[in-house]
Each structure stands twice: as structure tokens, then as C-alpha cells.
């Protein structure tokens, strides 16, 4: 798989104190009476996708609830986080120092997602995840200081996910990749199979910064949410509290971000109603925080009209399958 890549970093890492949130149990999906059925569903979907030309990459959740993959960068073992809230693939600066830049190589890269990459400081690397090998992968460098809440050496951003036609199974913890674009027939067969299995589809919308958003309703009011597998919980921006008619319950938890983003207090609320596509949920626990540090709601940013985050808690609990190529989120409540 010879592929290339993108621009800016924008992701959210939500760190909560577990004792303040009653929905912690939703993260431990495997510990329930349906675990055996979930395992059968995992194998069934995996075998089906293999038949369509997808390569499965096992994922696991770390202590911060991030989706992680074991892999290699230029032959050395590293930990990768699958982060749909991150625009571009980013490696920790300690690793980036050992990688060659476009300036050193004296080349430009033609990217299938972003066109010509001319940034002289972009790194180029070979990534190995499971049985899949990705050559000429560009990445940017940043100190991935997440307060000790993850051991990630590299964030796999939307550039990587789009370029490699990725599917993310948030419940069964699999990343599926392809060497080339799936045929229309394969796409149609997959979508029909998911519908027959009880999945509901929701259209995703990429921003100018590549990250994906979706539209929904909270307490009968419209909202736009960033789909972020790199977060920990679903959360709404505190500026939307009055419009959405929600009451906050204070906690001692904080939201932490990378580098200069800093942190903010995280409260919680229970939504009377939450609608995504054709699905309707009631009494849903979510976080409430000042998300301005992550540019959510910033009038000068691509996330200006975003009201919050759809995190891996609701994605995992509702068997979320993110189709990064076709820009669809599939949920099976």
C-alpha cells in the first residue's frame, strides 16, 4: 500500500474520574450476558469483510478508553491510536527526530487525499499494522503529552483513514483497511448486509480540516457533533447548555488536551432525548465542558458550527461502524 497524507492536528482527549459517571459500564461491553453473541457477530463481520478485500487489524482499549493498535514505524515497535478527531497522522517528537523529512529527502509527495505535500518538515515513514504494510506515509511531529493517560506514540488521523478506505468497528475493536478503492458492487453489498442486520446509517460530513461531523437533535434542538474515537466520552460544549435546556451536575473531573490546549472542568448531564438519524434515545448521560480549547465553536475555525463530540462510549454501546471512505456511520442500537 503506497500512500501519502495531510495537514493540522485537532483532537480531543477526555479524561474523567470514573466515580462521577454512571455510564462507565458502557465501556466494558464485553462484560455482559451477550458477550458470546458479540463474539460471533465480530467473527461474522470480519469474515464477510475479508471476502470483500478488507484486511482486519486488531485494536484494544487502553486505560484512557482509546482505540489502540500494536504496530511498527520503520521496523520498530510503537503504539498507535485511531483518532478520527485528528486531522493528520502525527508522531511523537521523540520518534519524529529519527525520521527523514521531505527537506532531507529533497522530494514532494502527491497525496490521494490532499494533493501535493510541500511542507519540508513533514516526515515520511513505513507503518506496519498487523499483516498490512503502508509505505511512504507522511506524518507531522508533535509532543504527544496526554498526561500519562495513554502510551500512544502515533495518532492515525483522518488522512490515513481516508487514504486507506478504512472501516472502524468501535465495539468489536477492529480497524479494516484496503489496498484500493472498493468497487460499487462491494459497497452496495456491504450496505445491504448491514441494513439486513439491523444497522441504521447516518451521513457523515467532512470539514475543511478532514474530521467528520454528523447532525442530530438534543432535547428537540439541532446539534452538530464531531465524531471522535480519540475522545473518552460523548460531551457537549457548555455554551450550548441554555439553548438545549440541559442542567449541569458538577464533578471533580477535568478535560485534558495535547500541549497548549490545556484542560477544563467536565460536568455531566442527562439528556431527555437524543436523536441520530432514524434512532431516538432517552435519558442519555453525557459530559458538558468548555471545549473552546479544541476550537469547537470557534468562529474562525472549521469547527465553528460544531456543538460537541460523539465519543467512543455511545459508539461502542451502539455497535458503531465508521465507514471513512463512504462517509457513513452505522449504528445497531
Triad 3, 4, 7: Cα angle to 5°: 155
Question: Does residue 11 have a pLDDT over 50?
Answer: no
pTM: 0.86
Could you give the CA distance from residue 232 to residue 207 in angstroms, rounded to a whole number?
21
Could you give the CA distance from residue 114 to residue 6 in angstroms, rounded to a whole number?
6
CA within 13 Å, CB half, 207: 27
Burial class of residue 273 (count of CB atoms within 10 Å of its CB; 0-12, 13-18, 19+): middle
Sequence-distant (6+) residues with CB within 8 A of 182 are: 52, 53, 165, 190, 325
Which residue, chain included where needed, has cell 490521494?
A: 112
Alpha-carbon Rg of the chain, whole angstroms?
Answer: 19
Domains of the chain with bracketed CATH:
13-27+202-331 (2.40.70.10), 53-184 (2.40.70.10)
Query: What percentage of the chain exceeds 90 in pLDDT?
Result: 66
Could you give the CA distance from residue 265 to residue 321 in angstroms, rounded to a whole number?
30
Residue 269's nearest CA partner among 219, 315, 220, 225 is: 219
DSSP secondary structure letter of residue 20? G
Question: What confidence score (pLDDT) does residue 1 get?
Answer: 41
Grid cell for residue 307: 456543538
Question: Does residue 31 have a pLDDT over 60?
Answer: no
pLDDT tens per residue across span 163-218: 999 999 999 999 999 999 999 999 999 999 999 999 999 999 999 889 999 999 99
pLDDT tens per residue across span 125-173: 999 999 999 999 999 998 887 655 567 899 999 999 999 999 999 999 9
CB atoms near residue 165 (< 10 Å): 21
Could you give the CA distance from residue 290 to residue 206 in angstroms, rounded to a whole number?
23
Question: What confidence score (pLDDT) does residue 35 get?
Answer: 45
The phi, psi pair for 41, rounded to 5°, reads -65, -40
Helix (H) or strand (E) holding 256: strand 249-256
DSSP secondary structure letter of residue 203? E
Could you give the CA distance from residue 211 to residue 231 in angstroms, rounded to a whole number?
13
Amino acid at each position: 500500500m503506497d500512500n501519502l497524507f495531510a495537514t493540522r492536528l485537532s483532537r480531543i482527549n477526555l479524561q474523567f474520574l470514573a466515580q462521577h459517571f454512571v455510564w462507565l459500564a458502557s465501556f466494558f461491553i464485553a462484560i455482559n450476558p451477550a458477550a458470546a453473541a458479540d463474539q460471533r457477530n465480530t467473527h461474522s463481520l470480519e469474515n464477510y469483510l475479508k471476502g470483500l478485500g478488507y484486511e482486519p487489524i486488531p485494536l484494544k482499549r487502553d486505560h484512557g478508553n482509546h482505540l489502540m493498535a500494536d504496530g511498527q514505524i520503520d521496523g520498530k515497535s510503537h503504539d498507535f491510536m485511531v483518532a478520527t478527531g485528528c486531522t493528520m497522522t502525527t508522531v511523537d517528537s521523540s520518534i519524529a527526530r529519527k525520521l527523514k523529512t521531505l527537506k532531507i529527502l529533497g522530494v514532494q509527495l502527491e497525496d490521494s487525499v490532499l494533493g501535493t505535500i510541500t511542507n519540508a518538515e513533514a516526515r515520511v515513514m513505513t507503518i506496519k499494522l498487523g499483516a498490512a504494510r503502508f509505505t511512504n506515509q507522511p506524518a507531522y511531529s508533535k509532543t504527544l503529552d496526554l498526561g500519562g493517560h495513554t502510551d500512544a506514540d502515533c495518532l492515525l488521523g483522518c488522512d490515513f483513514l481516508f487514504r486507506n478506505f478504512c472501516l472502524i468497528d468501535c465495539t468489536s475493536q477492529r480497524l479494516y483497511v484496503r489496498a484500493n478503492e472498493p468497487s460499487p458492487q462491494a459497497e452496495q453489498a456491504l450496505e445491504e448486509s448491514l441494513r439486513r442486520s439491523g444497522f441504521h446509517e447516518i451521513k457523515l460530513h467532512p470539514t475543511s480540516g478532514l474530521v467528520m461531523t454528523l447532525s442530530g437533535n438534543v432535547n428537540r434542538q439541532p446539534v452538530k457533533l464531531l465524531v471522535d474515537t480519540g475522545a473518552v466520552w460523548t460531551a457537549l460544549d457548555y455554551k450550548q447548555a441554555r439553548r438545549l435546556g440541559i442542567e449541569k451536575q458538577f464533578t471533580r473531573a477535568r478535560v485534558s488536551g495535547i500541549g497548549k490546549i490545556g484542560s477544563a472542568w467536565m460536568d455531566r448531564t442527562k439528556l431527555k432525548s437524543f436523536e441520530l438519524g432514524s434512532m431516538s434515545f432517552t435519558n442519555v448521560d453525557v459530559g458538558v465542558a468548555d471545549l473552546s480549547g479544541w476550537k469547537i465553536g470557534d468562529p474562525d475555525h472549521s469547527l465553528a458550527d460544531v456543538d460537541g463530540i460523539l465519543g467512543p462510549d455511545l459508539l461502542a454501546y451502539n455497535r458503531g461502524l465508521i465507514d471513512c471512505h463512504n462517509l457513513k456511520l452505522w449504528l445497531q442500537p
